[in-house]
Structure 1
Amino acid sequence: MLVLDKHGRPLQPCTPARARKLLAAGRAVVHRHTPFVIRLKDRTVQDSEIQGVEVGVDPGSKATGVAVFTTRAGARTGLLAIEIRHRGGQIRDKLTARAALRRGRRSRNLRYRAPRFNNRARPQGWLAPSLRHRVDTTMSWVDRLRRWTPVTQVHVETVAFDTQLLQNPTIQSTEYQAGELAGYEVREYLLEKWKRRCAYCNATGIPLNIDHIHPRARGGSDRIANLTLACVPCNQAKGSTPVDVFLTDRPAVLARILRQAKTPLRDAAAASSTRWALWRALTCTGLPVQVATGGRTKWNRHRTGAPKTHTLDALHTGALDTVVRWPNTTLVATSTGRGSYARTRSNRYGFPRLHLPRKKQVHGFATGDLVHAVVPTGVKRGTHTGRVAVRTTGKFNIRTTTRLVQGIHHRHIRLLQRADGWAYTRQPEGQPTHA
């Protein structure tokens, strides 16, 4: 549990049992419901011994994993796991729809401003709004954790793969690429590039070997553009046979393999730009920032036997000896936004068709608030906890972790936490997540 002193400054986190005892004894109050934060009434930072915590960040295209942990003698102990689910796809779709509406208005010769082309300059370091959203939301959670925990250091994956090492293994000292780490970089890159399937028969869910498209016995190199994945039967059948001879009767497969071998990993440039933008933002916090690659994270994870999730990747980022323990559950924070400034809804042509109410609060509740409802009778009888959507009728909808409950009267609802632009759920740690 996250703990603050009586002035709202972060203290060392405690166990749930300790937090329950403090609340029962009246020594603490609930500062925040989700994530759960308590505030002590009789303790200050000066009266406490603070070891400090570290934060690991594993950026992803759809979700980012964040782990809060302590480190002692090279061993990490996980305290909190958060999976941040972005809405970059929604932002992209809305921008595309807006651009289409504007183009449509101009083409219909309506009374609308003429197109202008003198305002298209992009500043240094510009990112597309969908990518900037990923950086901003991740930094928002890092700033929150700094307010709730005594963060001393941040670990982040800056690139998914060390492409310089892949293209030229001797770019640095031989000690850098010796051992298993370079092999993990290559294998993970190929698994992502070839979609974890055999390049020759498209088999999935089976062991895959790294295969040289142009065999080494015939002068083929170890460059990443000459490597692919093959299942054991295809790898043995091909052997040192040239790929054009091996696929003589399958010219379409040959053309696909040669084309895909020259194509870099999809979205690699965009992901690298976002990760480095995140690194620059993290360095501006003044905290020490340690960087690592995705290949090293996977190497660490295999050594500790942890499953593949964003939050466990965040826990295994960077240099470590072992992981003692990780949380049993993950807090999933889905970005929902804080509503919109629009006061109308438009039709398919972009013209207003209805007007929205100007006030956002109804009977003291606003859409996005975290609420707890106890309905005593009727078909909706029971206890419902989740995110509320208000209606001017006074009968609200509540989105729980499992379903949508509609038409609950406001007198049965109790506020737990004001809307902060996020929807929260929990899931067991170790479940596969978004990319």
Structure 2
Amino acid sequence: MFVFVLDKNRKPLDPTHPARARRLLVSGRASVFRRYPLTIILHDRLKENSQTQLFRLKIDPGAKTTGLAILQGSVVVWAAELSHRGFAIRDALTTRRQLRRSRRNRKTRYRAARFDNRRRQSGWLPPSLNSRVENTLTWVRRLIKFCPITAISQELVKFDLSKMQNPEISGVMYQQGSLAGYEVREYLLTKFARRCVYCGATDTRLEVEHVVPRSLGGSNRVSNLTLACHPCNQSKGNQDIKDFLSGKPDVLKRVLAQIKKPLVDAAAVNTTRWALFERLKATGLPVETGTGGQTKFNRTRLGLDKTHYGDAVAVGSSTPEQVIVKVNKPLMIKATGYGHRRMCNITKFGFPQVNKKGELAVRKRVKVVHGFQTGDMVRAVVRSGKNVGTHVGRVTVRATGQFDISTAKSKLQIINHKYCQPIHRQDGYSYAEFSTFVHRITD
């Protein structure tokens, strides 16, 4: 993973190799500006006196994880996978809604409904979906600050719905060219959960199969296509699906219901991508778009593994004929948020927690203690006691000054704040165990 470089005025320069970054830090010409992503700042150089290359940021948005990659020509210099917290937000809102409704039922006085007074703005997204857009934009802005990015590539739609419904919409050459079958196959893999609809087999080669065979008048429309493993496809042959599954009425009912499922799932996948596209254009950088089928074609052509950052490398028509991946391990980023504002914790049943005396356990609103707050990443060097050693992890502060540190392997309690040294301040994200390399390069 290359290291981001800033000049002494905090302007981005070309990322540098980790070995060169280590030499700059040891010689005193640079200091660590930020740990995640690892960024150093030079003390003796200005951007006006340096020539920067052209870098492209590629984004593969996903429902749970978004892939990020930065390319300089055909060289992949940085990559990351950003995990979203959309489902956590949905569950939290559901819990809050249940608590408010139960309280409303307990208070028997009349209370006028307020839902008619609320108006949603144009382009409104549910919080669980909007968080995915905001998380991606946060990291796009950060990377623009740390790297001289000149263009952005985004996988705009997972499936090209128009071309699947009407294959001739852009001419026959689209279906007979190098992308033939990729759009439809990618959609079918998502719709049928990458399993054979007849036997449920997974982790095997799946073939596109016609529900109503072509010999019986079936068409190539996506509503007449499904996925089957090779043995099931051969067994069905040119039979009608009702004849093939005549002895399995339950399977027949499930398959017919799944086939009739409309393209709503594909439209839902595309919802946040369009919102992200509009926000990316507001950055002022040129934004290139591509489809999921094109991404899969490029990834297969380049021989890249099926990973989120691998998909990001293959996004768009700007993907070179060959790529050189200089990333041994991507930075694993997970959105955690900044906590909540509840005055007391609740049980799993939604009731407020009480102490042994039966009193409401109100949380103390102490956010910063001795310069630390919960979520900061620290290095604690303990020289005596049962926790002797050097520990790196996230801190949970207490007003007493005795902190807890959660490391990758365990959770340490009662660590005095005097032993703690800040490494990375709480920013709403957690990072995978990439810290070993970070600490080695910055020590």
Normalised by the length of structure 1, the TM-score is 0.93
Which of 387, 391, 402 aligns to 1:395? It is: 402
3-state SS of 2:186 partner: helix
2:7/2:47 contact within 8 Å kept: yes
Find the aligned partners of 2:81 and 2:161 in 1 and give their Cα distance.
27
CA 1:167/1:307 → structure 2, altered by over 3 Å: closer, same or farther?
A: same
Give the deviation of 1:240 after TM superposition. Answer: 0.5
Q: Letter of the aligned partner of 1:25 in structure 2?
A: S
Find the aligned partners of 1:242 and 1:227 in 2 and give their Cα distance.
13
Which deviates further from its counterpart, 318-327 or 290-299? 318-327
Using the aligned pairs only, state the percent identity: 48
1:330/1:426 contact within 8 Å kept: no
2:95/2:350 contact within 8 Å kept: no
Which of 88, 91, 104 aligns to 2:89? It is: 91
Find the aligned partners of 2:408 and 2:210 in 1 and give their Cα distance.
48
Give the structure 1 partner of residue 262 of structure 2.
Answer: 264
Q: Letter of the aligned partner of 2:324 in structure 1?
A: V
Give the structure 2 partner of residue 226 of structure 1.
Answer: 224
Which deviates further from its counterpart, 412-421 or 112-121? 112-121
Give matches, 1:22-421, under 5 Å: 22-71=24-73, 76-110=74-108, 114-264=112-262, 267-319=265-317, 320=319, 321-346=321-346, 348=349, 353-421=360-428
CA 1:121/1:370 → structure 2, altered by over 3 Å: closer, same or farther?
A: same
Q: Letter of the aligned partner of 2:391 in structure 1?
A: H
Give the deviation of 1:174 after TM superposition. Answer: 2.3
Give the deviation of 1:253 after TM superposition. Answer: 0.9
Give the deviation of 1:404 after TM superposition. Answer: 3.0
Give the deviation of 1:346 after TM superposition. Answer: 4.4
3-state SS of 1:345 partner: coil
Which deviates further from its counterpart, 307-316 or 405-414? 405-414
1:192/1:265 contact within 8 Å kept: no
1:346/1:354 contact within 8 Å kept: no
CA 1:266/1:315 → structure 2, altered by over 3 Å: closer, same or farther?
A: same
Find the aligned partners of 1:106 and 1:181 in 2 and give their Cα distance.
56
Structure 2 portions without partners, runs of 5+: 354-359, 436-443
Find the aligned partners of 2:30 and 2:110 in 1 and give their Cα distance.
59
Find the aligned partners of 1:311 and 1:239 in 2 and give their Cα distance.
39
3-state SS of 2:415 partner: strand
Give the structure 2 partner of residue 432 of structure 1.
Answer: none
Give the deviation of 1:382 after TM superposition. Answer: 2.8
CA RMSD between the two structures: 1.9
CA 1:338/1:295 → structure 2, altered by over 3 Å: closer, same or farther?
A: same
Which deviates further from its counterpart, 265-274 or 315-324? 265-274
Give the structure 2 partner of residue 433 of structure 1.
Answer: none
Structure 1 portions without partners, runs of 5+: 429-435
Give the deviation of 1:176 after TM superposition. Answer: 2.4
Give the deviation of 1:426 after TM superposition. Answer: 4.2
Q: Deviations over 1:248-288 (max 9, x none)?
A: 11111111111101113674322211000000000011100
Which of 398, 417, 431 aligns to 1:424? It is: 431
1:329/1:426 contact within 8 Å kept: no
Find the aligned partners of 1:287 and 1:15 in 2 and give their Cα distance.
26
3-state SS of 1:329 partner: coil
Give the structure 1 partner of residue 441 of structure 2.
Answer: none
Q: Letter of the aligned partner of 2:160 in structure 1?
A: D
2:395/2:406 contact within 8 Å kept: yes
Find the aligned partners of 1:264 and 1:375 in 2 and give their Cα distance.
60
2:130/2:272 contact within 8 Å kept: yes
Give the deviation of 1:381 after TM superposition. Answer: 3.0
Find the aligned partners of 2:417 and 2:27 in 1 and give their Cα distance.
32
Give the deviation of 1:301 after TM superposition. Answer: 0.7
Q: Letter of the aligned partner of 1:12 in structure 2?
A: D
Find the aligned partners of 1:121 and 1:408 in 2 and give their Cα distance.
49
2:191/2:265 contact within 8 Å kept: no
Find the aligned partners of 1:381 and 1:193 in 2 and give their Cα distance.
53
Give the deviation of 1:391 after TM superposition. Answer: 2.0
Number of residues paired by the alignment?
A: 424
